[in-house]
Chains A and B, each alone.
Chain A
């Protein structure tokens, strides 16, 4: 992936088996979010391919990729602050009955689904609350529930714990494990926070200068001298 003269992702190959849970870490500007942008169709890559369930989605529109079962959480919560919690959840839910305007007008869904999602993000009592007034952590959980509402198989989370307290981070880790273990989702998490990565207890991919530096368990990665250098800026150039 190249922007003008800047090559942001280069020789990067990553594959995710079904029902995997992976964490991507790496210093600022190493291309983590750009990787999501390429996978979800925000940008078409300059060269290379993206496959989802064996289907080549390179250069497709975001909505077309989303329909193949890819849901993405944005770094700044991608929720609708003016709407209530229930309406926020209804937006992704409504697409289950069809893509077009008519199907969403006629849409009749069982109430149960909405209740389950409210339960998942812990906002059962606050379904009528305007989302802009929720705490930051609650917004993040709501957005994760919205991703589940799409029924996507692949869930991409971009720094889900940014700005959270320690207790909130633990709840978030529980929530992500629930997506992976109970709901059988394939989850990819971008994260900065090493303690959170440790909490997730999953294989870790370290990115550096738009390429993969190292893959392995949390302990392996932590002990790797190159990873330590990358984070502390020794040896290898900064990115």
Chain B
């Protein structure tokens, strides 16, 4: 009994330890390393958005970059004052980058899940095509920079500082991204550990059966898809403010598959694992692409196949899978182990 409760503690402790490690990471990195790592954490936010919709909701979305890209473009267009009535406000940019992709995801969800609804491979193929269409549209749309995208997107600023001082230092950017990631993790964790999470998992397991419990399953899927779109959009906005540019590739097919690989490698069913998957693959990539060049892509492919075959839960999935929420754990077992402990004492 005690051993069992010890096992339950490992994922919780590991999750806390990893957040702590990410919090103090800048102490051990130089300036370049800090901004590099901030980018990985941004990709981690993107990965969590896919883990939520795919790992928890069972919707294999091959077009997740659509929402990332729209978020990035909305942030860039706002801060470059292309929408002149907002005066280049970064806050407005962020808000638009979150709500815009959410609206798009909601509408797309209504089309895809309404009526009889698309499932499995059909959903994957349609989202893949959608990503291709959005990318091509972005390439041909003059207002958003066409093929070249938009350059010179201003970096993140701090509202209460003036002039050049207003721009965040790399450490400040890092912590802005860190707290955004932590907030996303907290919010999504709360959602998947609420009864909503159980219903979403039920829909993933057997959607038709879940209808007979009185659930309008399409509504739940659209809701999850919308939340996921909003978070991918936030990641896109943070990305573009760090890189200073947006291009059509950000909403395309290639980035959509990349995020799928990060999430599959990390562990799609566990938010923290997907988050770490993004950081892991991106770090290994920057390390290996120097030495392997283009062969890196082949290495990534092998890594992906190996994970899918050998560890379907992903590299980190098993270790970071949090125990059931307290309301679903038997109160009696705790009493018993407490009794055992007092008995032993």
Contact = CB atoms under 8 A, between A and B. Distances in A.
A66 B217 CA distance: 13
B160 interface: no
A134 B331 CA distance: 21
Interface in B198-217: 198-199, 201-202, 205-206, 209-217
Nearest to A97: B195
Contacts of B331: 111
B16 interface: no
Given A80-B202, A83-B201, A101-B219, A95 B213 contact: yes
Contacts of A61: 211
A86 B212 CA distance: 19
B88 to A, nearest CB: 35
A87 B206 CA distance: 14
B328 A74 contact: no
B213 A91 contact: yes
Contacts of B329: 86, 127-128
B82 to A, nearest CB: 34
A83 B329 CA distance: 13
B175 interface: no
B83 interface: no
- Give chain A's interface secondary structure class: helix
A92 interface: yes
Given A91-B202, A95-B213, A101-B220, A107 B195 contact: yes
A67 to B, nearest CB: 4
Contacts of B191: 105
B299 to A, nearest CB: 32
A106 B191 CA distance: 9
Contact of B196 (A83, A99, A101): A101
A34 interface: no
A62 B330 contact: no
A67 B327 CA distance: 25
A102 to B, nearest CB: 8
B212 A114 contact: no
Contacts of B196: 94, 101, 104-105, 107
Contacts of A81: 205
A209 to B, nearest CB: 27
Given A86-B324, A128-B329, A63 B215 contact: yes
B123 interface: no
A109 B196 CA distance: 13
Contact of A83 (B198, B213, B224): B198
- Give chain B's interface secondary structure class: helix
Contacts of A118: 330
Given A78-B206, A127-B328, A99 B215 contact: yes
Contact of A104 (B199, B212, B324, B328): B199
Nearest to B209: A78
A150 B212 CA distance: 10
Given A90-B328, A124-B330, A72 B212 contact: yes
B332 interface: yes
A105 B340 CA distance: 35
A101 B198 contact: no
Residue of A78, A83, A90, A125 contacting most chain B CB atoms (<10 Å): A90
Interface string A63-79: 10011000110100010
Given A86-B324, A86-B329, A104 B195 contact: yes
A87 B201 CA distance: 9
B12 interface: no
A184 to B, nearest CB: 20
A128 to B, nearest CB: 6
A84 interface: yes
A82 interface: yes
A186 interface: no
Residue of A72, A81, A101, A105 contacting most chain B CB atoms (<10 Å): A101
Interface string B206-246: 10011111111101100110000000000000000000000
Given A90-B328, A111-B331, A150-B214, A74 B195 contact: no
A106 B213 CA distance: 19
30 contacts: A40-B212, A62-B212, A63-B212, A63-B217, A66-B211, A74-B209, A78-B212, A81-B205, A82-B201, A86-B329, A87-B202, A87-B324, A91-B198, A92-B213, A92-B214, A94-B196, A95-B215, A99-B216, A100-B219, A101-B196, A101-B220, A105-B194, A105-B195, A107-B196, A109-B195, A127-B328, A127-B330, A128-B324, A128-B329, A146-B213
- 9 nearest interchain CB pairs? A66-B214, A94-B195, A86-B328, A101-B223, A80-B205, A104-B196, A91-B202, A78-B209, A105-B196
Given A66-B214, A82-B205, A88-B202, 18 more contacts: A40-B212, A62-B211, A66-B212, A80-B206, A83-B205, A84-B328, A86-B328, A87-B324, A90-B195, A91-B202, A94-B195, A95-B213, A104-B195, A107-B196, A111-B331, A114-B328, A124-B330, A146-B213
Interface of A: 40, 61-63, 66-67, 71-72, 74, 78, 80-84, 86-88, 90-95, 99-101, 104-107, 109, 111, 114, 118, 124-125, 127-128, 146, 150
